[in-house]
Structure 1
Amino acid sequence: MARRRRRALRPPRTALLALLTVLVLAVSLSLYPRAWTLQEFGLGAYLSVVWTLPTLLSVMAVIGAIQARRSLTRPRDVDVDSHADNLLIVQVPTIGRTDVMPALRRVVASMERTIPANFSRWRVDVVAEESSEARDELEALSSEHVRVLYVPAAYETPNGTQAKARANCWLDELRQQEGESREDVWVLHMDDDTGIGPDTVEHVARFINANPADHRRSKLLAQGVLTYPRQFSSNGLVWLADAVRPGSDLSVFRLWTGGGRPLLGAHGELLLVRADIESAVGWDYGRSLSITEDANFALLFATRYPGRSAWIAARCYGSSPESFADLVKQRKRWARGLLHVAGNPAVPLHNRLLLKYALASWVLGPLQHVFVVLGASALLGLRYTAPVQPWILGPWALNLGVGLWMYVEGLRANAHASGGPAPLRYRFGLLLIPFFTLVEGYAGLRGFVAFVRDRLGWGRSELFEVIAKTHEVPASQGGSRAT
């Protein structure tokens, strides 16, 4: 138990968030101009809008971070049994290419090693396409508790769903045929590069025991935190850029999933759903909504089962992209898919507004990025990039403080998942945050262009671009520590 306590998620440092915001505000107030030119005022008016736009998201992040800290410092499930009698099915879709097999082998090994401590009945279903190129390597994963399944090439859904969502449809139908779409069966969705650890399984078991099917208000869906151990990622700078993801899970996503309505931030790994509820919601969304099927599932769930989701203090262990080109490809796909989800008429508009708002802040990123603004100011000979009223510096300071905090706190979470504090070079690497946010904004803008092409009927490009996951984790690097 001592090892599990040491490996547990650390509460986010909300005091650091407040400190960063105050520091930014103090510096900004000291630099506020006393006089303007007409051109400077015009730029200030523009910035007063676009740099203030994310303020609501920042407020949500603050509230979510406070809630995450409270959940981790005063857990409510300490008296809940950590061994569950329910059947746990871990679902791992994979494209089955040779360049993803190193990560997949690590993922399956982590499950075989950790799940038996908390579940007597469990199974891992690895599902790939019938035409997968790595059939021999996939078959080698089979064991007493691991099934390797193949979606038939001829399988089609009524709505023409593709990619990972198609595999989810097929597996859900298979569970219904096998009589496993029941109240006492839970499905844990994982990616082929994202493993689990003892802490993950313990929190999953406690959540299941705390939410029995015979309780009217039991939670039906749960999600935890994505972390990225350094030893699972081949590129240190990309790993540093990916720190924003656990930072988001520990703040704004905690607010919404933990509040019972996963309207923002649901992801396809560490997604725990009761099997009968998953069948009721379904995965057959059609081609465009297959790009980010997890977000569409979450919005449909929030619509049909309001108040029934939860945030758990569980953590999973994934791999960051292997290059910035792969990171852009990944984020572009997310932006493109989420824009389609935000326009899905099957979800009531009031449940899509938050996603629309968040996407507006993302895809406009390059047009409001500090590098772009400062470059334009220099070309035009402008001295100031300030809002038209000094009180607007308050929201600006909050937005910048939250943005910095997400990277700092995300790096801390990733380093802890790696087995120790972040080396000094990575802490100094946080000075590259403006570059990282520019990459994120550029990818979001490219996703928006792809979305527009889809809507115009020109978007017949690859639907689900799977990035390579070739990085091996030698035992000498301590890869087994995290999982």
Structure 2
Amino acid sequence: MAIDYLVFYLVPNLIGGFYAFIMALGAVKRVRGRRAPPVENYLVVVVTVGDGRVLPALLETVAQLERLGLRYVVVSSRPLPLRSVLVVPPEEDGSKYRAVRWFVKNYARPDVWYVFLDDDSYPLDTRFLSDIAYYGARGYVAGNGVLVPRPGRSPLAYALDWVRWFHDVTIYRFAMELLRRPVFGMHGELLIVRGDVLREIWPAMGDTVTEDFRFAMELLRRRYKTFQSATRVSIRSPNSLADFVRQRARWASALRDAARYRNTPYIGLIAAGFALWTAAPSTWLYGPSTPLLIATIYAAVYLYGSLKARRYVLDVWLASLLELVGLAAGIVKKGKTFYILDKT
């Protein structure tokens, strides 16, 4: 067997086949709202810095929570003209992790379910309350919803963000609904967690700019069960491509946490993505291949995003390289500070 055939065709096909298998298993798993009375012992917690960069998005989030009739509190670094606000003392602030830690240590109760939101995200329905009741009765302790982007000021960033929805209904669904373990991490948007588990894990896990991923790793280490709710979560896309890259660069910190927790599946997933991206152009020399199949699937996802954003698909395909640029920049820079995106 020629070495080039092995390196450029056989191995990439095996990697691509496994990647496609995971995506397919997640895609065929349907998540439906559970028929259970909604829980009453819950609280939605919106975490924000509370300054002018985020205030418009925060007000939109609060308005949606009130339309849905949900109980909520805003945990803010600054006083806000809202009816339910807790202001984090300056000595306890400095990052989202620290703000939530202060809330957990002073306000979290073990018998309450907490639903965390970023200041630019909100649920589109209340089915997660029934999902909590259903899964909570069966020993599950944490969950997420399905992310659905909405436009910011950058149509290209909005088009690119649709890949997050695609990952939620494939890769993340495979982990959360089939494995019942957050092996690929969790989102900070609609992060559902039982109060006693929150109090057990959050204060002790250490400061980080990817607090949702580290929390997921602690759940995984303790073998806690997780679920994916049928609730869709509206997330605001970055206002510029520069913010898009900064956001992706921050997520690269999750790779260091994955190494720290020896999370081989997550590291393997990222490595497989890089390998398939680089191998796809060469495999066509040998005929049809799974890397080409994966490339076609992602091209279709970005095509869908371009239609939603009303952008030329070629622009979106070229801009999709920024996903890799952001990830590479985050790995090289090893950022340890949380960059606040403009959400005006």
Amino acid at match of 2:250: R
Q: Any idea what SS the aligned residue of 1:154 has?
A: helix
Query: Cα offset for 1:286?
Result: 3.0
2: CA distance between counterparts of 1:434 and 1:44?
29
Alpha-carbon distance between aligned partners in 2 of 1:210 and 1:106, rounded to the nearest angstrom: 29
**The one of 336, 345, 368 aligned to 2:278:** 368
CA distance in 1, matches of 2:153, 2:149: 11
SS in 1 for 2:53: helix
Question: How many Å apart are 1:329 and its aligned residue?
Answer: 0.4
Q: Structure 1 or 2: larger strand share?
A: 2
Aligned with residue 116 of structure 2, among 185, 189, 192: 189
Residue 189 of structure 2: which of 269, 278, 282 is its match?
A: 269
CA deviations over 1:205-251 (Å, ceiling 9, x no partner)? 21122245xx4x33211211111223xx2221211111101111111
Distance 1:266 1:127, change over 3 A: same
The number of residue pairs the alignment matches comes to: 342
Aligned ranges 1:162-311 → 2 under 5 Å: 163-176=95-108, 180-182=109-111, 185-197=112-124, 199=125, 201=126, 203-212=127-136, 215=137, 217-230=138-151, 233-259=152-178, 260-287=180-207, 290-306=208-224, 308-311=225-228
Matched residue, 2:52: 98
Mark the CA change 1:387 to 1:236 in structure 2 (over 3 Å): closer, same or farther.
closer
Aligned partner of 1:338 in structure 2 is 254
Q: Distance in 2 between matches of 1:113 and 1:76?
A: 20
Counterpart-to-counterpart distance in 2, 1:105 and 1:309:
30
SS at structure 2 position matched to 1:149? strand
Whole-angstrom CA distance in 2 between matches of 1:274 and 1:226: 21
- Cα drift, residue 343 of structure 1: 1.8
Counterpart in 2 of 1:125?
Answer: 73
RMSD over aligned Cα, in angstroms?
2.9
Does the CA contact (< 8 Å) of 1:221 and 1:274 recur in 2?
yes
- For 2:76 and 2:279, the matched residues in 1 are separated by 40
Displacement after TM superposition at 1:387 (Å):
5.7
Deviation digits for residues 113-172 of structure 1 (CA, Å, limit 9, x no counterpart): 2135xxxxx3x221222xx4xx4xx2x12x2xx2x222222238xxxxx61111111111
Structure 1 residue matching 2:213: 3-state secondary structure: helix
**Structure 2 SS opposite 1:467:** coil
User: What per-residue deviation string (whole Å, max 9, x for no partner) do you get for residues 392-419 of structure 1?
Assistant: x33123312332344356x49xx9xxxx
TM-score, normalising length: structure 2 = 0.88
Counting aligned pairs with the same residue, the percent is: 26
Q: Is the 8 A contact 1:100 1:192 kept in 2?
A: yes
Letter in 1 for 2:266: L
**Aligned partners of 1:361 and 1:168: how far apart in 2?**
33
Residue 446, structure 1, aligned to residue 341, structure 2 = no
Q: Secondary structure at the match of 1:264?
A: coil
Instruction: Report if aligned partners of 2:33, 2:230 keep a CA contact under 8 Å in 1.
Output: no
Task: Give, in angstroms, the shift of residue 196 of structure 1.
Answer: 2.4
Deviations 1:427-455 (A, max 9, x none): xx33444313311111111111123xxxx
Residues 209 and 336, structure 2, Cα contact 8 Å, conserved in 1: no
Equivalent residue of 1:282, what SS? helix
Q: How does 1:67-86 map to 2 (within 5 A)?
A: 67=29, 70-71=30-31, 75=32, 77=34, 79-81=35-37, 83-84=38-39, 86=40
Change (3 A) 1:51 1:94: farther
Residue matched to 1:16: none
Q: Check the 8 A contact 1:103/1:192 in 2, yes or no.
A: yes
| CA 1:42–1:363: 2 relative to 1, 3 Å | closer
Task: Determine which of 142, 146, 149 is the counterpart of 2:86.
Answer: 149
Change (3 A) 1:209 1:42: closer
CA shift digits 1:310-354 (9 cap, x unpaired): 11110111210011111000001101x11121122xx3x3xx011
Tell me the TM-score normalised to structure 1 length. 0.64
d(CA) in 1 for partners of 2:318 and 2:203? Answer: 36
After superposition, give the CA deviation of every residue in 1:30-73 in whole Å (9 maximum; x if it has no partner). Answer: xxxxxxxx9xx969945765686454333211110111xx33xx
Partners of 1:314 and 1:76 in 2: CA distance: 8
Matched-pair contact (CA < 8 Å) for 2:238–2:244: yes
The 1-side partners of 2:300 and 2:195 are apart by: 37
1:365-404 alignment, distance < 5 Å? 368=278, 385-386=282-283, 389-390=286-287, 393-404=288-299
Aligned partner of 2:20 in structure 1 is 58
Contact 1:93 1:126 in 2 (8 A): yes
Q: Following the alignment from structure 2 to structure 1, what is the Cα–Cα distance between the partners of residues 33 and 97?
A: 34
